Structure 1
Amino acid sequence: MNVLVIGATGFIGAVVAAALAGAGHDVSALRHSGGRATEYRPVPGDLTDPVSLTRAAAGFDRVVHAGPPLGADLDLAGVDALLASGSPLVYTTGAAVLGGGSHDEDSEPDPHPVVAWRAEVERRVRAAGGRVVRPGMLYGEGGGSVPALLAAKAAERGTGVYIGEPGVRWPVVHVADLAALYVAVVEHAEPGTVWHGMSETVRLDELARVLGGGTAAPWPLEEATAELGPIAGLYTLDQDISSDKTRRLLDWTPKHTSILAHLSAEPPSPAR
């Protein structure tokens, strides 16, 4: 298929674009003025200029949006512009759109306030026949903003840190496994569907302990919020999210199933 990848220079998009090309698809990359070049055919367009997206996305068999969230106004205007192109859209949201608790692919969104608008993004994509991918926390390939942040705090404090109470769980996924899921969604997913990219569930205090060399301590939410802003609240969101339907219907089998073992062997470089 002829596929446009949005975010092809980013952590997710670069691996997804390579996986799609490796599967034999003809990959193009959205590129804004002054943007970093890739090995793929550049298509002019800018996420901050929604009008440009309709023209950029027109004529593709699939458009994969793996770019960063930019906030309610730009994200909603951008998804409307992409859908107006008529090209089938695969859109990336995330686990936080489901809120706390146990969920699966059929659960209705109940988003954390930090990402509240993403529920409406999902609704618009699905209503237009697009596909939604909800990844867990990403790691691998030398990236992953959350492990890098926690590694930096561990280096700063001399112990691993986690925000809020112990026992908070998050779904996680290695970026290479996530890229394989995007290939499956592009090739096989029915219109209007939601897919979960989660390979396992991990306790954040256990992750912090690995990054801290065997020790971890709480980072009070008030202190974390003062440094990180409202996004710190996401770290207190306890989630146990199933990807059973995705695995079964798309024959998706993650190869990386232990983030703790991965981080023990390959600690991330602390974010700066």
Structure 2
Amino acid sequence: MKIFVTGATGFIGSSIVDELLRRGHAVVGLARSDASATKLQAKGAQAHRGSIYDAASIVPVLNEVDGVIHAAFNHDFSTYAQNCLDDGVLLERMAESLRGSGKPLIATSGTTVIAPGHLATEDQPADPAIPRSASERFLRFHEFGVRTGSVRLPPSVHGEGDTAFVPAAIALARRAGVSAYIGDGANRWPAVHRDDAARLFCDVVERGEAGHCFNAVQDEGIPFRVLAEAIGKGLGVPVRSLAPEKAAEHFGWFARFAAADVPASSRLTRERLSWSPRENTLLFDLDSLPSYFDLSVKALSI
């Protein structure tokens, strides 16, 4: 197959491109810059110049490929709700362009589109009150001849090069001189290694059933207290419980993530696609990858 990948030079997208190429697929990656285009071409992929902010730059290439993996997303959390809406609009535009083609259109979503506090599963519909659910509205196009699918990613997609939520928590703990959790820290975070997530994206584009969601989850729910302890160990700083009313003062914008209880299962994904995680766990990576505690690593802004 010839697969078009957005976010093709990003943390997860680059791993997806590598896995597609390993499987013998041809890859066309979206590139916003000459540097991104050069990276893709060096791997043996084709570069298509365009941007997720300009749907007209993307739509023409859809007729030239056999399927699409949409792995790009704007991670500026100061405009998060709008970013989610924009992502949904782009996916609708792509799905409309693929109407009647039978081609796969596989997008990125999050396990957190399910209301918190209980184990999220693949067959639970996204809560429309949660902004990221906008990225799953396009799934209905399976009724119009598009093999739609969504890969739901957990809050932590980890591995070498991670700059997301866990590195943000590390940067915050370094700045504060303490690694904190809220209350008893029993709230849970699921996690997956980026290479396992990449393999799932490829499995779904190859043979995922239309209209379905798939959970890229290895660790169903690591207590945040345990994450805080691993961060404290890595930084050599004390670990402390915070009263809920002190969370915003300590964590800032990260407080809602530090408090989130969002466990998720991948049992149905494993059954339906014979997918099984085989890379390191998040706690193993925190214990073994020096890059997680490297001062030069730039994490999400805190």
Give TM-score scaled by structure 1 length. 0.89
The residue that corresponds to 2:162 in the other structure is 143
The residue that corresponds to 1:222 in the other structure is 248
Structure 2 spans left out of the alignment, 5+ residues: 75-81
Choose from 138, 141, 158 the match for 1:127.
141
Shift of 1:144: 4.3
**Contact kept in structure 1, 2:181 and 2:224, CA below 8 Å:** yes
CA distance change for structure 1 residues 235 and 95 in 2, over 3 Å: closer, same or farther?
farther
Q: Matched residues in 2 for 1:108 and 1:165: separation? A: 30
CA distance change for structure 1 residues 120 and 156 in 2, over 3 Å: closer, same or farther?
closer
CA distance change for structure 1 residues 14 and 205 in 2, over 3 Å: closer, same or farther?
same
Indicate whether 1:171 and 2:185 are aligned.
no
Listed as ranges, the matches of 1:105-254 within 5 Å are 105-110=122-127, 116-128=130-142, 129-136=147-154, 137-162=156-181, 166-200=185-219, 201-213=221-233, 215-218=238-241, 220-224=246-250, 227-228=252-253, 232-254=255-277
Identical counterparts, % of pairs: 30
CA distance change for structure 1 residues 178 and 147 in 2, over 3 Å: closer, same or farther?
same
Q: Matched residues in 1 for 2:132 and 2:178: separation? A: 34
**Contact kept in structure 1, 2:139 and 2:150, CA below 8 Å:** yes
Shift of 1:248: 1.3
Shift of 1:212: 0.7
Shift of 1:71: 1.1
The AA in structure 2 aligned to 1:186 is: V
CA distance change for structure 1 residues 15 and 240 in 2, over 3 Å: closer, same or farther?
same
The residue that corresponds to 1:6 in the other structure is 6
Q: Deviations over 1:9-68 (max 9, x none)?
A: 110100111111111110110122556222221112211112222213223211101111
**Contact kept in structure 2, 1:47 and 1:74, CA below 8 Å:** no
Q: Matched residues in 2 for 1:217 and 1:56: separation? A: 52
The residue that corresponds to 2:72 in the other structure is 67
Alignment: residue pair count: 266
Q: Matched residues in 2 for 1:35 and 1:80: separation? A: 29
Shift of 1:107: 1.0
Choose from 79, 82, 98 the match for 2:94.
82
**Contact kept in structure 2, 1:91 and 1:125, CA below 8 Å:** no
Shift of 1:156: 2.1
Q: Deviations over 1:145-182 (max 9, x none)?
A: 11211221222233323356511101100111111111
Q: Matched residues in 2 for 1:120 and 1:53: separation? A: 19
The residue that corresponds to 2:50 in the other structure is 45
Q: Deviations over 1:175-211 (max 9, x none)?
A: 1111111121111111111100000121112111111
Q: Matched residues in 1 for 2:62 and 2:189: separation? A: 33
Corresponding residue SS for 1:240? coil
**Contact kept in structure 1, 2:121 and 2:266, CA below 8 Å:** yes
The AA in structure 1 aligned to 2:25 is: H
Shift of 1:7: 0.2
Give TM-score scaled by structure 2 length. 0.80
